[in-house]
Amino acid sequence: MFWHYIDLSWRSFKRTPMVTVLMVLAIAAGIGITMTSLSVYHMMAMDPMPHKSSQLFHPQLNARDDGDDWWTEDNLPHQMTYKDAMNLYRADIPRLKAPSMRTGFSVNLNSPDVKPFIESVRMTSRSFFSMFEFSFIHGAPWSQGQEESAAMVTVISRSMSETLFGQSDSVGENVYFDDNVFQIVGVYEDFDYHVKFYDLTNGAFNRAENAMIPITLIPPLKAQTWGNTNGWKFEEINSYQDMLNSEQAWLQFWVQLDTTEEEKEYREFLTNYLIEQESLGRFEREEVHFALRNLTQWMTYNRVVTEDNRILVSASFMFLTVCLANILGLLLGKFLRRVPEVGVRRALGANKRQVFLQHLVEVGLLGFIGGIIGIGIAQLGLWGVRATYSYYSAIATMDISMLLAAPAIAIGACVIAGIYPAWLVCRTNPAICLKTQ
Amino acid sequence: MYKAMSEIKPIVNALKRSKVGAILLMIQIMITTAIVSNAAFIIYDRSTYLQQETGYPEDEILYFAITTFGEDIDLSQLFEETETTLREIPGVIDAAVIAALPLSGSGSASGFDTLPHDQHQNGDNRNVRAAYTTGDDHVLNTLGVKIAEGRDFRPEDIVVTNDPSMLAKVAIVSRAFAEEIFPDENAIGKTFYSGNTGVEIIGIVDTMKGPWLKDSRPNNVIIFPRVEARMYQNVAVRATAEDRASVRKSIEDKILAQYDKRVVINMRGMDEAKAGYNAADLLMLRMLVVLIVVLVMITALGIFGMTVFNINKRTRQIGTRRALGARKSAIVQYFLVENGLICLVGLFFGCIGAYYLGGMLLREYSLPALNNLYIVVTALSVLVVSLLSVLLPANRASNISPSIATRTI
Amino acid sequence: MLSMKNISKVYQTEKVQTHALRDFTLEVSEGEFIAVTGPSGSGKTTFLNIAGMLESFTSGDFILDGVNVGQLNDNQRADLRNQKIGFIFQGFNLIPDLNLFENVEVPLRYRGIKSAERKRRIMECLEQVGLASRAKHLPQQLSGGQQQRVAIARALAGEPRFLLADEPTGNLDSLMARQVMELLEEINRNGSTIVMVTHDPELARRAPRNIQVVDGQIADFTLYQHGGASVPRKSNTVAAVNPMSVEV
């Protein structure tokens, strides 16, 4: 019966092409606009590591005097000072921990073959790679020993390796970061996430770094951060060592806590750490103040989904409602004109359910066609988004779930709009086909 | 007018009979009014923001950065020569190394005080946030801003150093900063403090924006006469607007010809840098424009479709009215009044909706309060669009032949 | 076969109660061909609606082929209608989007008959009304008489026990009307029970049994016989005030 209803719907479309085109356009426009903003929203809001996002935590410490305010909602800084990050990293607590910081160098091979280019480089610990599940295609992360001795070693991404050496396997080769020679010990698969979730502080949709070096190289290289630095009090900073000792926050810090037990334990640890730091005279506070947010909470806290996008998503759903009201009106007109035919069908033995289904199939088909055209419109819209704002290049796309959602939303919306008109016609009294004569 | 009024009662009765259609139309008009007035206001807000006066000739200025990886050279000396090379390129007005680039979205800001840090506890200190940058005596000319009061930097003001503790003793500031840190008095010659270092204000520029147009103090800017050549160094070049494109092409070659252990990156015009910083706002603006244009179109089509449907349904009735002597204008008027009534009810609720939506946006998001004028103008526009959408089918209806009344269908 | 006992139908609107049928009682046996006549508004269409289960009735008993119709819900009535009753309408009521084959197919689809079986039956019925060669044509390509024959084929396709015809020749000229009437007579000879509503006395006379509906009741037959005319005397006065309205 379903295919028969599809056949009937198709005939009905052909019979009133103008109204059909109008309704399809209305739903296509509604879906196109809604899917454009919803796709961006979906990409922004998607949990990048669903299996692990509740185990990765980003601690925030309030190591300031009472009465000194940050601009953040809970008065906590997003980043950490060098000494806090390194203290937490070296603390004797057996969990995976990763301090990290974005810097950058002019990358070259000290030969005329490859023109030097600028790349951002992340300085971090070797645990970073297992915490964020980097997959190594050649070699491995640097060893604990290399990290402790601040060895000049690096791991690079596949695309960086291909750019520099024309092949993915470059383990053992040397690369120059500025004037420093680094030995490549590993090559990892490109970090292919839409959100650079391990460093939301310096642009959630920035490209991931293509090279990583040990965090212990910060002092010898006098590495400059390629990100925000926030301070809260006046300090004389006249040397790099002053900077490392200062209260300026410029590092990110992650810790992996697999169970609630571990989380509780870590909270106690942080409390004790802050009490100890206060006793060293770094700051004066009535109460210790810190936060321990997991990845999903951290993304919400950092407003990865922008305010503009939220506004657009709600506006486009209201827009969709207008399209639906519109379609509902047109369907009413279309279906009610068909009452005589329905009367005959009822007289010939169609029951209400069959008539109702026939009309729902028709609006469903309408929604399906509108949804498919809507995907086209949404692609156009997303192209416009990417053209206007290249920063959104990676997120202004439709993934498979959005491609499926478009016709699903369209069909769902049309069926909702069609229920009332379909109900009206299915109530047609079959006697009318006798009376009207 | 009287005639139009006399139509209302039968129209209201007719509307009661086709309730659902009328309610649907009202809902459309209501939502349209609510969305369009708020969207139009956001568009206005963003376009005002995007078009604000920044104080700079944005189409004349080029930005780029040089990273030097050779360590066999004196950087200060090198940049001195680089500036000279740049200034000699035909079409270039001036060039300067600079710490932070205005309007680019990256730079430095800090709080500056009216008292030295050591005396904060014994007096009334005022702390004012400002973005700051450094440059030599060419920086103002390169940025294309003019001294309104006081004087420009002289070569002897410039501190050339590699020592972070060596700070400048004078500064040129934007008027907004001068007025905030020294209200009600002339700031020229006054001293403000960065930590314990006193800085004398020697010049004031009326308008120059900082690196972040969305900063809490976008207008507060300080320029220190200081050059500390860095491995990663920003450079600004100003050329005439016509020559900028050709200057842009020749810069990299000239710089690498001078010394090649360095890379020129991030070459862009000031206008491009600003557009990059504001791209999200432009995106929002464009999306909202598309949204309201399509929305109004859909609503107009809906009204159009509904009127056509109503007319088809009443073809015979219209023919009968015509046969009974109704003029064409009376038929058109009938549909206009009918639609006008629906529209007015929709607009009434739409205005209330717009008002509450505006209030919600103000509460939930960092948007300014909706100007009610936008609701009024939107409501009037929607009314006009809706009446225009009726006019076409209504005119067609008025051409229905009276003879249809006597014909059987 | 069909048995109506004291059937009443009251239409209730806001202010007015209209008695369309009052204590209507009728027995129809298998294989009968009955013509129902009566003035406009007398209730004969209401009778047909109830007989075809298109409408419910207010009170009384209605047994169709052993099934007590009064106890059925809407879906059951639709199914029963589909299985036992074939309709022939004055306005033919062919669905304009569907060709002749598809029009005849409609009741069979609702009965859930398999495609091959459907095809066989449809062609058989179209054959019977002499239009098999035009199966792919659309209704508007046919004359009125041909359309009515298609409608008859559609009514026959479901092999119903009952054919209900509502002014089947009302929209046709006399030649075509005669053809349609002959077709109905042939169908009746083949065993189908037919109830036909008509206001054409000539047509009614061709049916073996005549029923006169006046005022929502079967009129007294003596009137008909003694009056010697095809229209009962009473009808002239009654028609003007029918349907009977009572202010509530």
Whole-number Å distance between alpha carbons of C44 and C214: 8
Chain C contact set for A345 (CB, 8 A): 95, 106, 110
Q: Which tens digits make up the pLDDT trace of B336-375? A: 898 899 999 999 999 999 999 999 888 888 788 888 899 9
Interchain proximity B70–A118, CB inside 8 Å: no
What is the per-residue pLDDT for A12? 87
CATH of the domain at C30: 3.40.50.300
Q: Name which of B129, B141, B144 is nearest B220 in CA terms.
A: B129
CB-nearest partner of B282 from A311, A381, A388: A388
Q: Report the share of chain A in percent with pLDDT over 90.
A: 57
Is pLDDT of A125 > 90?
yes
Helix (H, G, I), strand (E, B) or coil at C23: strand
Which of C52, C79, C109 lies closest to A347 in CB terms? Answer: C52
Interface contact C110-A348, CB threshold 8 A? yes
ipTM above 0.90, yes or no: no
- Which of the four pLDDT bands, split at 50, 70 and 90, describes residue A393? confident
Going from N- to C-terminal start, the domains of chain B cover: 2-51+280-405, 70-260
Chain A CB within 8 Å of residue C161 CB:
no
* Intervals of chain B under pLDDT 70: 1-17, 404-409
* C89–A433 C-beta distance less than 8 A: yes
Is the Cβ of A245 closer than 8 Å to some Cβ of chain B?
no
Backbone angles phi, psi at B2, to 5 degrees: -60, -40
Can chain A be said to touch chain C, i.e. do they have 3 or more Cβ pairs within 8 angstroms? Answer: yes
Nearest to A352 among C74, C83, C90 (CB): C74
CB contact C73 to A (< 8 Å): no
Per-residue pLDDT of chain C (248 residues; tens, 9 = 90+): 888 998 898 887 777 788 888 888 888 888 899 999 888 778 888 888 888 888 888 889 999 888 898 888 888 888 888 888 888 888 888 888 888 999 999 888 888 888 899 999 999 999 988 898 999 999 989 988 889 889 989 988 888 888 998 888 888 888 888 888 888 898 898 888 999 988 888 888 888 888 888 888 887 554 444 333 444 433 333 333 333 333 33
Give the rounded distance of the alpha carbon of B106 from its chain centre.
19
Residue A108 has its nearest CB partner, among B69, B71, B313, at B69
| pLDDT score for C54 | 84
Comparing CA positions, the residue from C183, C119, C177 lying closest to residue C152 is: C183
The secondary structure of chain B in percent helix, strand, coil, rounded to multiples of 5, reads 55, 20, 30
Cβ contacts of A217 within 8 Å, gap of 6 or more: A123, A150, A152, A223
Of the residues B284, B287, B288, the best mutation for testing chain A's interface (the one with the most A CB atoms within 10 Å of its CB) is B287
Using the Cβ of B14 and the Cβ atoms of chain A, whether some distance falls under 8 Å is answered with: no
By C-alpha distance, which of B354, B302, B283, B37 is closest to A29? B302
**Nearest-by-CA chain A residue for C85:** A348
CB A249 within 8 A of CB A260: no
Judged against a pLDDT cut of 50, whether residue A373 lies above it is answered with: yes
Per residue in A172-182, pLDDT (tens digit) is 999 999 889 99
User: Residue A252: what pLDDT?
Assistant: 94
pLDDT-based confidence at residue A128 (cuts at 50, 70, 90): very high
Range of the domain at C228: 2-247
A64, A247 Cβ separation under 8 angstroms: yes
Question: Do B102 and B210 touch, CB atoms closer than 8 A?
Answer: yes
Distance from the C100 Cα atom to the nearest Cα atom in chain A, whole angstroms: 15
Looking at the complex, does the CB of residue A313 fall below 8 Å from at least one CB of chain B? no
Is the Cβ pair A118, B25 closer than 8 Å? no
A&C contacts, CB < 8 Å: 85
Q: What local confidence, expressed as pLDDT, does residue B2 receive?
A: 47
Of residues B391, B394, B397, B403, the one with CA closest to residue B324:
B403
pLDDT of residue B32: 93
| Residue of chain A whose alpha carbon sits nearest to that of B38 | A315
pLDDT band per the 50, 70, 90 thresholds, residue A330 = confident
pLDDT for res B117: 83
Q: Which residues of B touch A315 (CB under 8 A)?
A: 35, 39, 288, 291
> Residue C237 in contact with residue C12, Cβ under 8 Å?
no
Alpha-carbon distance of A218 to A206, in angstroms, equals 22
User: Which subunits have 3 or more CB–CB pairs within 8 Å of chain A?
Assistant: B, C
Query: Cα separation of A211 and A190, whole Å?
Result: 10
Are A329 and B365 a contacting pair at CB < 8 A? no
Number of domains observed in the structure of chain C: 1
Average pLDDT of every residue of chain A = 90
CB contact at 8 A, A163 and A175? no
CB < 8 Å from A in window 183-212 of C = none
Long-range contacts of C137-142 (CB under 8 A, 24+ apart): C137/C99, C137/C100, C138/C96, C138/C98, C138/C99, C138/C100, C139/C92, C139/C94, C139/C95, C139/C96, C139/C98, C139/C99, C139/C100, C139/C103, C140/C96, C142/C100
User: With an 8 Å Cβ cutoff, are A436 and C91 in contact?
Assistant: yes
Q: Do C48 and A436 touch (CB under 8 A)?
A: no
Per the CB < 8 Å rule, is C87 touching A348?
yes
pLDDT recorded at residue A381: 93
pLDDT tens-place string over residues A428-437: 888 776 654 3
On whether any CB of chain A is under 8 Å from the CB of C83, the answer is: yes
CB within 8 Å: A348 and C55: no
